Amino acid sequence: MKSDIRVCSAWRETHDRPVYTLSDTCPECGGAAENSAPAPFDPEDPYGEYRRALKRRHR
Ligand SMILES: [Zn+2]
């Protein structure tokens, strides 16, 4: 299923949380908004712990 909801593509740099919108641009910073359907990452980051563990291991 395709979602019409978009998310600010630069929210990580610009906002402290994902900014969702139905338009092509972010309503807060005016930057590009991208389709949130195939999320480039999960805000809840289920693999965050795994990644952090890996980082510790390589240190
Ligand atoms: Zn934005």
Least confident residue range of 3-7, 26-30, 52-56 = 52-56
3 within a domain of the structure (yes/no):
yes
Q: How many CA atoms within 13 Å lie on the side-chain side of 52? A: 5
Q: How many domains does the chain have?
A: 1
Ligand 1 centroid, distance to 59 Cα (angstroms)? 34
Ligand 1 centroid, distance to 31 Cα (angstroms)? 5
Ligand 1 centroid, distance to 21 Cα (angstroms)? 9
pTM reported for the whole predicted model: 0.56
Q: Which of the four pLDDT bands, split at 50, 70 and 90, describes residue 23?
A: very high
Containing structural domain, residue 15: 1-37
Q: What is the DSSP string of 5-40?
A: -EEETTHHHH-SS--EESSSB-TTT--BEEE-SS-S
Q: Which of the four pLDDT bands, split at 50, 70 and 90, describes residue 57?
A: confident
- Those residues whose beta carbon sits under 5 angstroms from the ion ligand 1 are 8, 14, 19, 26, 28-29, 31
pLDDT tens for 32-45 read 999 876 555 566 66
46 within a domain of the structure (yes/no):
no
Ligand 1 centroid, distance to 25 Cα (angstroms)? 8
At which residue do the structure tokens 């990644």 appear?
A: 51
50 within a domain of the structure (yes/no):
no
